DNA sequence: TGACCGGTTGACTGACCAGTCAATCTGTCC
DNA sequence: GGACAGATTGACTGGTCAGTCAACCGGTCA
């Protein structure tokens, strides 16, 4: 039963990363010990250092893996030929679904990196900024097309938009907001409604249209 | 030169708190040592423990002092007889001015408490939640009065609003957004414009009115 | 004068934990 | 078989730092 070259039965590296997500989510990065991660993974202490240089590197890896996916999603959305409101909806949807799919990982990324700008956020500021830029680019294009009002800078709008999304996730993480399938879907619409209603050039007075309905250009 | 009863020339306790703000802002709570605070305050190590039980308690004190002021400001604003948009403007203004007045303290509160929900945020969740509730109450009343659309829950709106404000402050803290008198004033208007435009029942198409001008009821 | 007391000092301790390393195990190839 | 390599183990070390404590200082009051 020769296995494919050098591929172990269980990828211990992955096992450690997944265990780290659970431990970080439960105890927080600063308050957990490396031995907690090893225990959670059912692996010897030393093995963690066989696969990673440091405790920090484990968190870095988790963050970068996921953030790159987000950045690519933003770029992909921006390339599509759909109205800006739908673009923002797609991004919101992606982030909300990421939370739905793996709440612990999203909790770690938000609490320990994105919102911990003094420690890990500092290290990854450039990556985080890239996401803002991607969103700002969408807003800017929409402004040039006349779909969004132009008196609010794209960078500012991007920050407000992302801030609202992240705050809602934080609300779920810390049980300030009810969770559930219905809530997730509603949140997507509500976030885009709240923010775009403000960014949109005032034209219609029809009640909240379905996010995939409206056509602008 | 008898001084007022038991009032030392310099309030060492205050000296330590102020030094802690600077050290926490510069190095972060987790990465600084208590000796750093003592050095910054120009005071012996042990004196810190004369006035405070633990390193944690210093941060707790800083947070609670400031947060109570915010909570009272929110309550006070809500009690005034002004349209909801102006109430939100007043709250935004208060927070932005807090940052203008003492950016280091606001950095510490946001980075180390409000956005560190896993460590200190957890401890103070009830206090933080109180601010959301205060904002939600404003939104709810505005919805009942027909000034705000009713299809977005007040709690949700409060989170989105506060999230946008905090994200903008974070933008200033980490130099993602330009700072300055003009920017601070503009930010106040833009935040309220962005959020209320979305919350407001669509009626006018007049360009952004001065925040202290419009009257609703 | 001298007793008292709160404020102040900084050396010290005890615990904790990230990271090291030598030994052991497991599988592969000749 | 046996030699080699990478995976795996966990006891140990070295450094760090929060919190303690005994001593000291300076003002007050009887």
3-class DSSP state of B100: helix
Q: How far does Cα A118 stand from its chain's mean position?
A: 19
Cβ neighbours, 10 Å, residue A152: 22
Instruction: Give the confidence band of B120 by pLDDT, cuts at 50, 70, 90.
Output: confident
Domain boundaries, chain A: 10-52, 59-199
Contact A159 B176 (CB under 8 A): yes
Partners of B111 on chain A (C-beta within 8 Å) are 116-118
Q: What is the pLDDT of residue A7?
A: 42
Superfamily for domain range B10-52: Homeodomain-like (1.10.10.60)
Q: Which residues contact A46 (CB under 8 A, 6 or more apart)?
A: none
Fold: same for A10-52 and A59-199: no
Q: What is the pLDDT of residue B149?
A: 87
In degrees and rounded to multiples of 5, residue A200 shows phi and psi of -55, 140
State both tokens at B167: 């994200």
Q: Chain B, 158-187: which have a CB under 8 Å from a chain A CB?
A: 159-160, 162-168, 170-171, 173-174, 176-177, 187
Residue B126 has pLDDT above 60, yes or no: yes
Residue B63 has pLDDT above 60, yes or no: yes
Report pTM.
0.87
Instruction: Give the confidence band of B198 by pLDDT, cuts at 50, 70, 90.
Output: low
The tokens 């947060």 sit on which residue? B67
Q: What is the pLDDT of residue B3?
A: 39
**Residues B171, A158: contact at Cβ < 8 Å?**
no
CATH 1.10.8.50 fits B59-199, yes or no: no
pLDDT in tens, B2-13: 334 344 457 999
pLDDT in tens, B39-57: 999 999 999 999 999 999 9
pLDDT in tens, B81-98: 999 999 999 999 999 999
| Average of per-residue pLDDT across B205-216 | 44
> Which contacts (CB < 8 Å, 24+ apart) does range B13-18 have?
B13/B51, B15/B41, B15/B42, B15/B43, B16/B41, B16/B43, B16/B47, B16/B48, B16/B51, B16/B52, B16/B58, B17/B58, B17/B61, B17/B62
Nucleotides of chain D within 7 Å of a protein C-beta?
Answer: 6-12, 16-22, 28
Ranges of chain A whose pLDDT falls below 70 = 1-9, 198-217
**Residues B173, B122: contact at Cβ < 8 Å?**
no
Q: What is the pLDDT of residue B118?
A: 76
């Amino acid at each position: 039963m020769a296995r494919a070259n050098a591929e172990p039965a269980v990828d211990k590296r992955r096992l450690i990363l997944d265990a780290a997500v659970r431990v970080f989510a439960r105890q927080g990065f600063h308050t957990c010990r490396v031995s907690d991660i090893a225990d959670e993974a059912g692996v010897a202490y030393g093995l963690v250092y066989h696969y990673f240089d440091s405790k920090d590197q484990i968190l870095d890896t988790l963050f970068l893996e996921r953030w790159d996916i987000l950045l690519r999603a933003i770029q992909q959305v921006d390339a599509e030929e759909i109205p800006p409101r739908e673009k923002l909806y797609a991004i919101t949807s992606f982030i909300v679904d990421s939370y739905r799919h793996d709440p612990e990982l999203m909790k770690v990324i938000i609490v320990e990196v994105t919102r911990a700008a003094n420690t890990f956020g500092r290290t990854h500021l450039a990556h985080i900024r890239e996401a803002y830029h991607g969103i700002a680019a969408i807003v800017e294009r929409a402004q040039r097309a006349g779909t969004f009002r132009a008196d609010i800078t794209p960078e500012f709008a991007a920050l407000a938009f992302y801030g609202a999304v992240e705050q809602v996730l934080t609300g779920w993480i810390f049980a300030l907001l009810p969770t559930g399938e219905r809530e997730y879907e509603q949140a997507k619409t509500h976030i885009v409604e709240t923010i775009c209603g403000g960014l949109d050039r005032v034209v219609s007075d029809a009640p909240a249209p379905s996010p995939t309905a409206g056509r602008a250009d």
